[in-house]
Homo-oligomer: A and B are copies of this chain.
Amino acid sequence: MSQQAVTPQSENFSEWYNDVVYKADLVSPSPVRGCLIIKPYGYEIWEGIRAGLDKRFKATGHQNAYFPLFIPESYLKREAEHVEGFSPELAVVTIAGGEVLQEPLVVRPTSETIIGEAFSQWIQSYRDLPLLINQWANVVRWEKRTRPFLRTSEFLWQEGHTAHATEAEAEAETLQMLDVYTDFAVNEAAIPVVKGQKSEIEKFAGALRTYTIEAMMGDKKALQSGTSHNLGQNFAKAFAIKYLSRENVEEFCWTTSWGLSTRMVGAIIMTHGDDKGLRLPPRLAPIQVVAIPIYKNDAERTPVLETVNRLVAELRGAGMRVHIDDREETPGFKFNDWEMRGVPVRLEVGPKDVQNNKAVLARRDMGKEGKQFISQDGILAQVTDLLNAIHDNMLAQATAFRKANTHDLTTYDDFKSLAEKGGWARVWWAGSNDDERKIKEETGATLRCFPLEQPEGSGTCFYTGQLANRVAIFSKAY
Residues of A within 8 A of B (CB): 28, 30-32, 35-40, 43-44, 46-47, 63-72, 75, 87-98, 104-105, 107, 114, 117-118, 121-122, 133, 137-138, 140, 142-144, 153-154, 156
Q: State the CA gap A171–B114 with chains docked (Å).
A: 43
Closest-CB distance, A372 to chain B (whole angstroms): 32
Q: Separation in Å of the A324 CB from the closest CB of chain B? A: 14
Most buried by B among A65, A88, A154: A65
| Interfacial chain B residues near A87, Cβ < 8 Å | 98
Is there contact, CB below 8 Å, between A65 and B43? yes
- Residue in B35, B43, B91, B114 whose beta carbon sits within 8 Å of that of A64 in the complex: B43
A97 touches B144 (CB 8 A): yes
**Majority DSSP secondary structure for residues of A touching B:** mixed
Give complex CA distance A97, B142 in Å.
5
Q: How far is the CB of A217 from chain B (nearest CB, A)?
A: 23
Chain B's closest residue to A39 (CB) is B65
Give the Cβ gap from A62 to chain B, nearest Cβ, in Å.
9
| Contact between chains at B88 and A97 (CB < 8 Å) | yes
Q: Please report the C-alpha to C-alpha distance between residue A298 and residue B114 in the assembled complex, in whole angstroms.
A: 44
Query: How long is the Cα–Cα vector from A97 to B109 in the complex, in angstroms?
Result: 12
Contact assessment for B94 and A90 in the assembled complex, using a CB-CB cutoff below 8 Å: no
The answer to whether A94 touches B94 (Cβ under 8 A) is: yes
Cross-chain pairs A/B with CB under 8 angstroms, 11 sampled: A32-B71, A32-B114, A69-B138, A70-B91, A89-B97, A90-B98, A91-B96, A92-B95, A92-B96, A93-B93, A97-B143
User: Contact: A92 with B90, CB < 8 Å?
Assistant: no
**Across the interface, which residues of B come within 8 angstroms of A142, CB to CB?**
96-97
A97 CB, nearest partner CB in chain B, Å? 4
How far, in whole Å, are A104 and B13 apart by their CA atoms in the complex? 35
* 19 extra A-B contacts, CB within 8 A, seeds A69-B138, A94-B94: A28-B121, A30-B67, A31-B72, A31-B75, A32-B72, A35-B69, A37-B65, A37-B66, A37-B67, A37-B118, A38-B65, A40-B63, A43-B64, A43-B66, A44-B63, A66-B156, A68-B154, A88-B97, A90-B96
Q: Is the CB of B94 within 8 A of A95?
A: yes
CA distance A144 to B154 in the complex (A): 27
CA distance A104 to B91 in the complex (A): 11
Q: How far is the CA of A389 from the CA of B75 in the complex (A)?
A: 49
In the complex the two chains form, is B70's CB within 8 Å of A28's CB? no
Q: Among the listed B36, B90, B94, B105, which residue makes an inter-chain contact with A32, where contact means beta carbons less than 8 Å apart?
A: B105
Query: How distant is A325 from chain B, measured CB to nearest CB, in Å?
Result: 15
Chain B minimum-CB-distance residue to A28: B118
Q: A69: which of B63, B65, B117, B154 is its contact (CB, 8 Å)?
A: B154
